[in-house]
Structure formats: structure tokens, C-alpha cells
């Protein structure tokens, strides 16, 4: 098994580049999974680590762990109080410009895991800023309504941390993220699989900025945009 790419490492923190398809930790909702980021990082550095936030299984990118319980507590508090700034890149259907969406989201509950949760909980505030980085029009008729197909490469900044927020917000704007099997468009997902050999959700956590929980110094982590997200945009370097 290859080692996970380390983005940042010091005495109390470690951040890795989580591949798409890798669970953060064991979940009985995915009983077939045999590999988890938590265990792989632990085995890779030879010590226990503590997750302080999460990425959805199909989302790749920066995943931060603490190396002790006190650091984990401080970082979890920072995430909860929105003191951590997160940036993502995504490919969406259609031409989408710049903007900000303030659209509350009702909590997504699993029928089994959350059967005892409050089913009538009010929608929670959810805000996402988005900027268009590139657009492309391809000479393929994916939808019968159009002779060509358009896509946008986006930079997304969630200001809140709701479950599946970016996927649900892009879907609400009618510009779903390519590869999203729950909130997306199956025709365009299939097109990207066949045309660009993309078999994943085209969403990646590419930046994370926060104050170090012990020194207070600014920590700014960045990853390049994954190749899978740029294959449809020939003008990009």
C-alpha cells in the first residue's frame, strides 16, 4: 500500500491529501470498506491521530488530523466557530459566474443511522461563495435540448459546514458538480466517465487556512487542482 501524501506535519498536527473514495474513518454504513484515512495515517507515522473535521468519501484533498487530544479539542473548536477558512475546486454543469448563495439546508438524515434524530429540525443557515475560473463548450450533445455541452471550473468557499453543502448548493443553482451521484446529472456524469475517464466526484479540498492552535501562527495549506478536474479545459496550463 502506497503512503498518503503529506501536506503538513509538525509536533501536533498532520495534514494529508486524501484520495477520492477513501473514508475518513470506519463506518458501518460502508461495511465493504477496508481502508480508512485515520488508520492509514496512524500506521504511516506510527502514532495515534485524531480527526478534527471530515471530507465526504468521494471528495479528495486536504484532511487535517491532530496528534493529541488537546490539539484535537482546540482545532475542533476552531472549525465549529468558523475560524478555519476552506477552499475547494469543482467542475459543474453549465456556465456559472461569480456569486454567493445564502440558502439554508435541512439536515440530511440517514434512514437507519439517524432514525432517532429530530426529523422536523429547521433548516440550518448555509452560505457558499463561488468564483468561476474557466469555462468550456464541448461539441457533444449530452442533453437532447442542446447540440453542445458547457462546463465551468469553480473555486468554492463554504462559509458554513453543512453536510454535503457544496454539492447541494451547486445543485440548487442548477449547476450540479460532475460526478455527484446523489445531487447531480447522470447524463453528464456518464459523459465524463466515457470521454475523460473520470470516475469520481469532481470536487477537491485544495486549501485550508487557520491559526495554529498552540503558536497562533498562520498556517496556510494548499494543493494543486487535481488533473481530473482540468481534463475538459484545454486552455488551462
Q: Catalytic residues, which ones?
A: 56
Report the 3 state secondary structure along 81-146.
Answer: CCCCEEEEEEEEECCCCCEEEECCECCCCCCCCCCCCCCCCCCECCEEEEEEEEEEEECCCCCCCC
CA distance 142 to 121: 38
Q: How many CB atoms within 10 Å of residue 133?
A: 14
CB 91 within 8 A of CB 202: yes
| Alpha-carbon distance values, 139 to 43, 94, 142, 146, 151 (Å) | 47, 14, 9, 10, 12
Give every CB contact of residue 9 below 8 A, 6+ residues apart in sequence: 15, 45
Residue reference for cell 460526478:
179
Amino acid at each position: 500500500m502506497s503512503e498518503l501524501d503529506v501536506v503538513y506535519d509538525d509536533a501536533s498536527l498532520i495534514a494529508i491529501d486524501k484520495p477520492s473514495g477513501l473514508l475518513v474513518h470506519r463506518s458501518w454504513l460502508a461495511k465493504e470498506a477496508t481502508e480508512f484515512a485515520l488508520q492509514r495515517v496512524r500506521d504511516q507515522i506510527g502514532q495515534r491521530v485524531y480527526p478534527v473535521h471530515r471530507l465526504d468519501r468521494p471528495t479528495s484533498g486536504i484532511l487535517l488530523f491532530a496528534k493529541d487530544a488537546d490539539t484535537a479539542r482546540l482545532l475542533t473548536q476552531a472549525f465549529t466557530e468558523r475560524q478555519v477558512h476552506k477552499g475547494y475546486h469543482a467542475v459543474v454543469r453549465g456556465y456559472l459566474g461569480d456569486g454567493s448563495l445564502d440558502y439554508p439546508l435541512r439536515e440530511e438524515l440517514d434512514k437507519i443511522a439517524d432514525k432517532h434524530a429530530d426529523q422536523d429540525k429547521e433548516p440550518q443557515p448555509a452560505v457558499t461563495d463561488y468564483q468561476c475560473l474557466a469555462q468550456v463548450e464541448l461539441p457533444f450533445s449530452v442533453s437532447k435540448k442542446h447540440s453542445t455541452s458547457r462546463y465551468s471550473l469553480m473555486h468554492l468557499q463554504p462559509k458554513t459546514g453543512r453536510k454535503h453543502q457544496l454539492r447541494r448548493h451547486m445543485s440548487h443553482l442548477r449547476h450540479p458538480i460532475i460526478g455527484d451521484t446523489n445531487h447531480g446529472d447522470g447524463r453528464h456524469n456518464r459523459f465524463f466517465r466515457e470521454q475523460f475517464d473520470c470516475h469520481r466526484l469532481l470536487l477537491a479540498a485544495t486549501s485550508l487556512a487557520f491559526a495554529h492552535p498552540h503558536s497562533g501562527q498562520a498556517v496556510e495549506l494548499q494543493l494543486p487542482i487535481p488533473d481530473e478536474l482540468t481534463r475538459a479545459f484545454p486552455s488551462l496550463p
